[in-house]
Structure 1
Amino acid sequence: MGRRFEEIDWRETPIGAISLRRRLDPALDVDVYEVKLDDEYLMSSLFTVAEVELARLALAELPGADLDVAVGGLGLGHTAAAVLDDRRVRTLTVIEALDEVISWHRRGLLPLASRLTGDPRSRLVRGDFFAAVNDPTGLDPQAPGRRFDAVLVDIDHTPRHVLHPSHAAFYTAAGLHRLASRLRPGGVFALWSDDPPDDRFTGTLAEVFGTVRAHVVTFANHLTGGESANTVYVATHARPAGLA
């Protein structure tokens, strides 16, 4: 297991100091990888059930094969790896705002790094996901205007608790309409949230998409001795009449 605690990387970024740490959890006897932004925890490898379900629930809505998927937010890589577990996926484009996070994967500092960097279907793109949604070029700088079968997002804590004020507009009807324009007919938008289902946000999604579901994903939390939960919103873009 190595040392009980290690700060693997620490760097100043435009949104604060970001750090990657590894510690030994004595109760589970496993290495835990954690990311902090200043003094706030962003993610932990202890709790990844909902990140995996973000991919699984979204892709379960899609028929057929040769799927092109975009993920907003790389993090520890659990959502992206779950996307690649679906053999129907043809391409995966992961948009990450911080060079530091991409570097962790390219340098092999995280357990899932080789799965993401070694799979020819996967590409890590440095960019601001929210700015890309608004930009005419779209989510793939190598293919302007490209549309995807699914766009999965795990960046902010919740639609109301965002990491930067500039993100807030994305969660409005206008912002979600712009996101929907990046999807193919019948495509899926899925979002991770740390809060219980938010009826107002679900209503906003319903203004834009044909079908909306808020899935409560539960998982054991050994830190509290009980159960915790996240929410995964899954919204399906309506297909035009007559389109199979």
Structure 2
Amino acid sequence: MSTGDPGGGATDTDGTDPFGRAIRDFRRGEQDEPLWCVDGDERLEHPIERFYFAERDESVYEALDADGLATPLLDLGAGAGRDALRFQERYEGEVVGLEPSAHLIATMRERGVESAVEGDMFALRESFERDRFRAVYAHGTQLGLARPPHRLREFLGDLAFVTDDDAVAVLDNYDPEAAAARDLLGWRPDPTPGMGYRVMHFEYEGDVGESLLFRPFTPEVLREACVGSAWTVGEVRYTNAHHYEVVLQKA
């Protein structure tokens, strides 16, 4: 069985939504079975408490302060609202948590997220008007679902549309060129320079979610995708051997 991180906050959009339902049940004390990350015969229990409810180190938020996060702030793939709640405490103004899962929207609202919006991070123009936000944050490696080059460039364009001229965005991903990334569940070899493949799905109480195809990419791939867009790549920082955060600024 593969070792390593079974996956971040990639929300399953299948109608059964085992991912969102399991996290909601955990929050309500009603989870009796594991949430499984599955690839063929391999499976790992998804660490719900650690990924969505355990407190993150204060240094994480201090770094984001230095990046220039400000309100109105959009938290993409906000999960159970862990970061959105901290942003509400740290910044004056509106913090919006976006999720496609109705179960996660309910969970965020139960936990005190003041603005939880059901929507798709890859269809931002459908949910928000132009210049709506001053900052955007995404933690959970969902960016890997924006398969380069075309979908990634479309996402960057939509991100520019819903943010103002002074906006900053902090996004994360796995680095497919890091040796540790090969231990992730569902990893596949990819001959494309700077690119990786990862395929997996979630299962909970007999419900099987849709297959999720991630294309993790290096910061250099993101930098190339930003050429001709409104964004430039600022700081890139690694949080471990294979996971990084990148700060985007309006060009």
Relative to the length of structure 1, the TM-score reads: 0.58
Give the aligned partner of residue 139 of structure 2: 154
SS in 1 for 2:246: strand
> Mind listing any 5+ residue stretches in structure 2 that lack a counterpart?
1-11, 28-33, 179-216
Deviation of residue 71 (structure 1)?
1.1
Relative to total residues, which structure has the larger helix share, 1 or 2?
2
Superposed CA offset, 1:36-56 (max 9, x none): 566666663325677977765
Which of 121, 133, 153 in structure 2 is aligned with 1:129? 121
- Where in structure 2 are the equivalents of 1:85-100 lying within 5 Å? 85-87=89-91, 89-100=92-103
Whether the aligned pair in 1 keeps the contact of 2:173 and 2:245 (CA below 8 Å) is yes
SS in 2 for 1:210: strand
Whether the aligned pair in 1 keeps the contact of 2:78 and 2:138 (CA below 8 Å) is no
**Structure 1 residues 123 and 41 mapped into 2: Cα distance closer, same or farther (>3 Å)?**
farther
Read off the aligned partner of 2:101 and give its amino acid letter: L
Give the aligned partner of residue 213 of structure 1: 235
Give the aligned partner of residue 3 of structure 1: none
Superposed CA offset, 1:162-215 (max 9, x none): 3xxxx4367523431231222211211111224468143332354232342211
SS in 2 for 1:192: strand
Read off the aligned partner of 1:61 and give its amino acid letter: D
Give the aligned partner of residue 15 of structure 2: 14
**2:189 counterpart of 1:185:** no
Higher relative contact order, chain-length normalized (CA < 8 Å, sep 6+): 2
> Mind listing any 5+ residue stretches in structure 1 that lack a counterpart?
1-10, 24-33, 117-121, 219-227, 239-244
Deviation of residue 235 (structure 1)?
0.7
Aligned-pair Cα RMSD in Å: 3.8
Superposed CA offset, 1:25-46 (max 9, x none): xxxxxxxxx8656666666332
Read off the aligned partner of 1:180 and give its amino acid letter: A
Superposed CA offset, 1:89-138 (max 9, x none): 311111110001112233x4xxxx13x2xxxxx3001112211x2x3x5x
Deviation of residue 70 (structure 1)?
0.8
Whether the aligned pair in 2 keeps the contact of 1:50 and 1:230 (CA below 8 Å) is no
Whether the aligned pair in 1 keeps the contact of 2:13 and 2:101 (CA below 8 Å) is no
Aligned residues: 182
**Structure 1 residues 217 and 68 mapped into 2: Cα distance closer, same or farther (>3 Å)?**
same
Whether the aligned pair in 1 keeps the contact of 2:99 and 2:105 (CA below 8 Å) is yes
Percent identity over the alignment is 15
Give the aligned partner of residue 230 of structure 1: 243
Give the aligned partner of residue 152 of structure 2: 172
Relative to total residues, which structure has the larger strand share, 1 or 2?
1
Relative to the length of structure 2, the TM-score reads: 0.57
